[in-house]
Structure 1
């Protein structure tokens, strides 16, 4: 018997992948770096070192990558995801239906906890 349903956050409840890609592209464009050579799917689930190596390619050793990462983290804080705009249309209806059936609801995500809590609070 099913007692609970666990939903993933990004890509299941919220259409975030394009926003993530565009935000990253915007930040990097300010640094003169393009990610046009990488599809948006490349950034899903990648580890940080691998991501930077593929973004910077032959220029990797010419950049202070830890500083670049810190700057990107600050940029993300200044440009948070608009979760209210990114929620898939039927999510609230589905969650209400699950809840009305007496099932517990869980949320799984590799996003940072602050983003998870904000997404829940805004919706």
Structure 2
């Protein structure tokens, strides 16, 4: 049995990743650049993102800086208006919280995280949350998960990571922590061959974590 569960956020606890992609695509469309989803997912697995395709199309960095603000505004609009719940998450966290300590380790920015959880219950189950501003090197670097282990005072063998992207899986593997990958339609084509476990829904996590 594991003592600590470290949850990725986007795509695991809330269904936000397609909306982040759509916000970036909408921002780039305004300057005539089409954001290809397949390439975006490949870039994402390397810790890159929306703006790699813009740079490849010759877009100036000053324009990208402006578009980043536009993308962020669109994304927060989606977060406030679209359905991003994942069925059963609250129930799973409530059950797990009786047996293990939990934290969120996310690449989400603090401002976006606050919008998402302004009226949701998920934070109440967590000992702490690490957002993008809380560490220097983002996933796939191991620093986010190593930072969480230090916060808990936990050994890597005592912890379990829950992810949905190959970038997050690589971060967990580099940190030496067993990783469960939960299926997500948006990231489902990525390489998860290094995962310790694969599950279809978060409800299956109880068997792994508490077994």
Shorter-chain TM-score: which interval?
0.7 to 0.9
Instruction: Please identify which structure carries the higher helix content.
Output: 1
The two structures have a TM-score, normalised by structure 1, of 0.72
Partner of residue 96 from structure 1, selected from 94, 102, 122 = 94
How has the CA–CA distance of structure 1 residues 18 and 84 changed in structure 2, closer, same or farther, with 3 Å as cutoff?
A: closer
Tell which has more relative contact order, 1 or 2 (C-alpha 8 A, sep 6+). 1
The question of 1:59 aligning with 2:58 is answered yes
Query: Do 1:27 and 1:72's aligned partners in 2 also have CA atoms closer than 8 Å?
Result: yes
Residues paired across the two proteins, number: 119
Residue 21 of structure 1: aligned partner: 21
Query: Do 1:13 and 1:91's aligned partners in 2 also have CA atoms closer than 8 Å?
Result: yes
How has the CA–CA distance of structure 1 residues 3 and 121 changed in structure 2, closer, same or farther, with 3 Å as cutoff?
A: farther
Where does structure 1 lack aligned partners over 5 or more consecutive residues? Answer: none
Where does structure 2 lack aligned partners over 5 or more consecutive residues? Answer: 121-211
The two structures have a TM-score, normalised by structure 2, of 0.46
User: Matches of 2:59 and 2:14 in 1, distance apart?
Assistant: 32
The question of 1:10 aligning with 2:7 is answered no
Query: Do 1:7 and 1:108's aligned partners in 2 also have CA atoms closer than 8 Å?
Result: yes
User: Matches of 2:11 and 2:37 in 1, distance apart?
Assistant: 22
